[in-house]
Structure 1
Amino acid sequence: MSSAMSFAAESTLMPEVAAAVTAAGATLLDRYTQHARGVELSEVVEEIHANDDAVLAVLREPLLRARPGSMWAEDELAGGALPQGEWWVVDPAEGNINHVHAMPDWAVTATLVRDNRPVLTVVHLPLTGDTYTATAGGGARLNGRRLNVSAKTDLGAALIGTGQARPGEDGRTLRRIGDSVTAMLVNGLVVRVSVPATLQLIHVAAGRMEAFWQFSDVRSGLVAGALLVAEAGGVVTDLDGEPWSLAGRNFLAAAPGIHRAALKVLSPIA
């Protein structure tokens, strides 16, 4: 399929996907409370699973129906390349831990991945009603308005972010996170350390932040933001400077003017 044909097909698909994700967001919004839910770890985990189950009950079938023959990536915390074909990579509650703790940084995301390349994504923030969309070759948008990454060229003036990808990261990954934050605190302006990844990557795509990096291959937290940043004019690589792929073990998305400088700081730590 040519890129032009692909873009046309995905543009036709976008309204149906956006409608499904928005409807799913309404379900997650209905479950949101102004108080934290769960005291013991087991209670918090139960609330997280209940959120996932409630959203997937209204999101999975519409997405599979929208793209006949597509497949579903079951484990939202899994990483690595997928088999060839079209896959839905979905996070029914991106930032689920924030949701159950009555914090505002959460969303519903759905990304169509074709032969291990994200080609369409929708990120919906139910609390604000904002919807971020992108198609490969078609640009990135917020509520229909075109997005562009930051024009900054000085890492010392940059707002940069990172965060852990999942609970229970191994010790080596945690040490690299700490070392990289220290390095960026020295070289950047301000470093944000928070979850989830997508809620930082939308800021990179919108030009509000200059970069986001992560030592992770959790695909559901990266594919949506990777496509948004790339289509907004950003650079998305691994920490060796090679084009990022689902098989990558680490990740950097940045505005073009600061990507090289960020890579110089982070690559020795990777």
Structure 2
Amino acid sequence: MGYGLLVTKNLALAKNRFLPLINDAKYGNDARYYYGFIAYKLEDYGIAESTLKEIADNDSYKAEITYYLLDISFKAGKFERCIEVGKKLLLNARKKDISEISKIVGESLFNLKKYEEAVPYLKAYSGKRGKWNNYDYYQLGYVYFKQNDFENAINYFNKIIDQKNAVSQNAYYHLAECYLNIDKKTEALNAFKTAGEMSFNLKIQEDAALNYAKLSYETGNPFQNVSDVLQNFLKKYPNSPAYKEINALVVSSFIHQQNYQGALEYLKKKAQ
């Protein structure tokens, strides 16, 4: 009954069926494994860890339990332990487990800012059902960015598509920084524009908008009039530390366009 409920994904009901069998002479180990597995799936990690540890050396379930315990440690933020245990597991891991274990080790190194060391482990991950998601691309792009390998960082950041969320906003912002570092200012302008249009992280949004305004003044803007871009920034961020700087660029932008009347009107309006 417990296994039938588990297979049909009635996890809570299945858990109640396995619990009375945990100390059974015949079914005890199996029941303990499935009880711990269900707790793991239900994100009750304390119960899962304590239950699975009791049969961690059981030959029938050892490989699965080792991975679940590693993943529980990762979710608990025990990154140093994950790195130590994960590296040992990879020495004798089953082929089908290498990808997931590598991902845990790579993300643990990433979270500890050991970016260079994280690269081979992150690259060894094959993705869920053989496909990477946007966060997988972001992580690898970011580790290359932190190592000043801007070409590789750009390659991975540019694989992030079709989503608007905090990950993609961060990615576009760092993509813009990468482009600036290799003097591709038009591409940087586009990336800052995209990051500045997302509001998941307000600090990044404002900084992207500021860089977009400055870069528009420096290189020109194919999307909008430069003076409008600068004034839009001032309207949206009147308390920005860069307010005076951008205000001065507004006047300069009118003069560069030989729009002296516009400069005079802007100055008069500001003087009121």
**Fold shared per TM-score above 0.5:** no
**Larger RCO, structure (CA 8 Å, separation 6 or more):** 1
Q: TM-score scaled by structure 1?
A: 0.24
Q: TM-score scaled by structure 2?
A: 0.24
Q: Which has the larger radius of gyration?
A: 2
Q: Which has the higher strand share?
A: 1
